[in-house]
Amino acid sequence: MSATGQSPAALAREQLPGGTPADRLAALRRTFESGQSLPLKARLGALGALLDALKRHEPLLLEALHRDLGKSPVEAYFTEIGLVRQEIRYLRHWLPFWMRPRWRLGSLVQQPGWIRIRRAPYGVVLVIAPWNFPVLLSLLPLAGALAAGNAVALKPSELAPNSAGVLRLMLESAFSPDYVAVFEGGPELARALLELRWDYVFFTGGPATGRFVYEAAARHLTPCTLELGGKSPCVVDAQVELQTAARRIAWGKFLNAGQVCLAPDYVLVDRRLYEAFLEALVKAIRALYGDAPQRHPDYGRIVNEQHFARLVAYLRQGRVYYGGQLDASERYIAPTVLVEVPPEAPVMQEEIFGPILPVLPYENPEEAVSFLRSRPDPLALYVFSRNPGFAQRLQESVRFGGGCVNDVVLQLASPRFPFGGIGQSGLGRYRGKASWECFTYEQAVLLRPFAGDVRLRYPPYEAAKRPLFRRLLR
């Protein structure tokens, strides 16, 4: 029940701007069933309208991202708006090729006959987006769903309210609400939306909420993609270019003040390199953000007081090797390196999602593999080594969604890279062609002429037919 005493089902029938959620879903369904979103021209037009709206509203989006998360304009473009523009252009270029049906010759028992395989849109898609990259993680799946020929409802996060407001303004300027609907509200609205029957649900967020979304979708047998988080490990071998490794890890960890689902959550370092790595890491942090990160224009802030308090508690679960400075009035936490962290501490059990990086030593590759295997499947695995055999061994020994060798986070920077998790870190893949496949299903049709109707298939099934069937169905 909600704070007002209403059930999610009642909230789904409550009047909101633009109508009740159920009414708006019905309007989206009418649009899809009319067939107007299906032709290639319509899909390309929708992607073009999205790209044009993004360009027009870029200044407002940049301002909103700064207000919500303290992002500088350059970082906001590099990590959000620019990636969306790249995605849309990629989808528009390749969509005419992907939409072509594939043809196969039928088997002997299907002759004469041909098989046509095409990918069909699900229908009406619900996208629930997170707050940490509110533009990127709203518009990437939205673009994929439109390219696939669906009508779409977007529920941006209420924890990034400025970005959510601009997204609504932007999308309402580009699309009819019967084609793309934006729902602004909190968790109660999300629960109400999940009471309804969608044709596909795409969720990005934490594993706990992901389980709720999965259960809600299962009640309607609705397929879904879950892009979750987890503790993505970074393993540093003794054979490594130390300064480059430290700089790349520091960049990936403290980007967006650590509020990145793909950020290295902790680092395992070969003990022979442990002290040298810590020194290089501190040097890299200072090179990126100076000695006063709080005043650096490219260092962000924690999204709200609740997350700030959660992160502050982690600082007491190890020894602060570097950083640790706080300013609650700005929700500022300095880039922090933790050492002497017990493996069973909450900071090593829960996704940190903030600018705190535990660094632990390991004795040998077997110990590192054992440590990684003892934990839930991560969204990403990062390995730094000059030894290809070492990197391959770790990748083959651990289940993970995706990752990098000798870098971090950049796997999300290309539509050519299918992105997603495994197990507790997610279900399904998207980006580029993977997005188009995510929001469509494979549909195969056997096409046969009336001629060539062989009586063998029909009763009576005399014993003499058995060897013929065995030969046909080998």
Q: What is the C-alpha radius of gyration for the chain, rounded to an integer number of angstroms?
A: 25
Length of the chain, in residues: 474
Cα dihedral 239, 243, 245, 250, rounded to 10, equals 150
Angle, helices 58-69/161-174, rounded to nearest 10 degrees: 160
Bridge-based pairing state of the strands 319-322 and 402-405: unpaired
- Cβ-count burial of 300 within 10 angstroms (0-12 exposed, 13-18 middle, 19+ buried)? buried
Active-site option among 87, 195, 227, 351: 227
How many Cα atoms are found within 13 Å in the side-chain-facing hemisphere of 180? 27
Query: What SS3 state is found at 226?
Result: strand
Token match 């977007």: residue? Answer: 154
234 is catalytic: no
DSSP 8-state class, residue 116: E
Residue 57 belongs to what H/E stretch? none
**Angle (nearest 5°) at CA 409 between 66 and 163:** 25
Please, what is the end-to-end C-alpha distance for the chain in angstroms?
58
302, 332 Cβ separation under 8 angstroms: yes
Rounded CA-CA distance 316/312 in Å is: 8
What stretches of 82-184 adopt beta strand conformation (E)? 102-105, 114-121, 124-128, 151-155, 180-182
Contact (Cβ atoms closer than 8 angstroms) between residue 413 and residue 83? yes
261 is catalytic: yes
- Report the DSSP pairing between strands 224-227 and 426-427: antiparallel
Q: Cβ atoms within 10 A of the Cβ of 126, count? A: 27
Q: Please name the amino acid found at residue 145.
A: A
CA distance 312 to 331: 10
Q: Which of 224, 234, 261, 404 is catalytic?
A: 261
Phi, psi of 116, rounded to the nearest 5 degrees: -105, 125
Catalytic site positions: 227, 261
